[in-house]
Amino acid sequence: MQDERLTLIGQTADDLPAISALLQDATLRVVDVGYDRRARRLALLVNRYRWESTTRSRVRCALRLETVTAVQRQGWPVGGDAVLNLLSLTQDGDWLVLTFAAGAALRMQAEVIEVVMEDLAAPWETHREPNHN
């Protein structure tokens, strides 16, 4: 399997749909989400399903949202080992919103849109393709 790592930077609302599509069905543990108030950065480590690939595979990926001044959680699981399935990254007024399956969400207020999605390692093959039935 080729080591084709993606790095994308989003700086406008028009950039969000492409990044959101690439992140759809990424899985992550609650403990892999961190907000550094001083650095104004929200970071997530996810296992991204590689929709852009012809093979079924996932890759470890970092998602960083910069200039974040506030974060709100909704329907957030209590256990740190809980696994979330990322559905979308959207803009809602002044907020950027990460929506997860089962009703969980993170809302962030940021001075400007600065989203970085970066694959961190070589992809690995998976036999399961996300299914939305």
pLDDT tens-digit map of 71-115: 999 999 987 789 999 999 999 998 999 999 999 999 999 999 999
Contact 45, 60 (CB under 8 A): yes
Strands 83-92 and 27-29, sheet pairing: antiparallel
- Measure Cα distances from 20 to 32, 58, 71, 80, 117 in Å: 18, 16, 19, 24, 10
pLDDT of residue 79: 79
Listed range (41-55, 69-83, 111-125) with the worst mean pLDDT = 69-83
- Measure Cα distances from 45 to 27, 42, 64 in Å: 9, 10, 9
C-alpha 75/C-alpha 31 separation (Å) is: 15
Task: Look at 54 and 118; give whichever has higher pLDDT.
Answer: 118
pTM comes to 0.92
